[in-house]
């Protein structure tokens, strides 16, 4: 394999962080629909202009960085159950993976102030860095 790019890594800067009642990894549901709570997303003032157009009621995709995940894991038992045969992490949604990016489809419930957004459901831990937010593409159903 060759890379066209001359660098072999990129620097990711958090744009904000998650405020959630989920304080420990073992408290987190596996997915948002597994009973995850509401959470607040706090976006840094330097990035608030990028939120223009996000309104209560809309759905969006939140990308987070699972800062407590293991990056050296390539195979897991799906949903952490050892009776499930091991699978490649890229065929799962395990937080443990080489670049531990979390992908969450959430509904916007409230915008309290520029940069403070209440969403649900969110299975990410309190303090999890937020790295990107995207609109939903209705046409592709990509959520």
Binding stretches for a second copy (CB under 8 A): 1-5, 8-17, 31-33, 42-45, 47, 49-54, 60-61, 63, 65, 67, 74-75, 86-93, 97-99, 101, 103-105, 115, 126-127, 129, 131-135, 137, 139-143
CB of 118 to a second copy, least distance (A): 15
Nearer to a second copy by C-beta: 26 or 72?
72
Q: Which is nearer to a second copy, 39 or 51 (CB)?
A: 51
Q: Is 142 left (phi over 0), alpha (psi -120 to 50) or beta?
A: alpha
Distance CA 6, CA 107 (A): 39
The least CB distance from residue 110 to a second copy, in Å, is: 16
Cα R_g (the chain), whole angstroms = 16
Min. distance of Cβ 23 from a second copy in angstroms? 10
Extract the tokens encoding 82. Answer: 């050892």
Whose Cβ is closer to a second copy: residue 26's or residue 132's?
A: 132
Say if CB 108 and CB 41 are below 8 A apart.
no
Q: Give CA–CA dist 42/52, Å, rounded.
A: 15
Minimal distance, residue 123 CB to a second copy, in Å: 11
Which CB sits closer to a second copy, 26 or 52? 52
Closest CA to 33 of 138, 81, 105, 125: 105
């Amino acid at each position: 394999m060759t890379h066209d790019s001359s660098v072999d890594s990129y620097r990711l800067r958090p744009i904000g962080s998650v405020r959630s009642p989920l304080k420990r990894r073992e408290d987190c549901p596996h997915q948002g629909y597994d009973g995850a709570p509401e959470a607040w997303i706090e976006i840094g003032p330097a990035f608030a202009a990028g939120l223009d157009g996000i309104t209560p009621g809309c759905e969006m995709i939140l990308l987070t960085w699972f800062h407590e995940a293991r990056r050296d894991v390539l195979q897991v038992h799906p949903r952490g159950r050892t009776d499930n045969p091991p699978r490649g992490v890229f065929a799962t949604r395990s937080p443990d993976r080489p670049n531990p990016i979390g992908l969450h489809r959430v509904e916007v419930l409230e915008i309290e102030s520029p940069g403070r957004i209440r969403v649900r459901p969110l299975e990410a831990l309190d303090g999890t860095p937020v790295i990107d937010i995207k609109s939903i593409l209705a046409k592709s159903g990509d959520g």
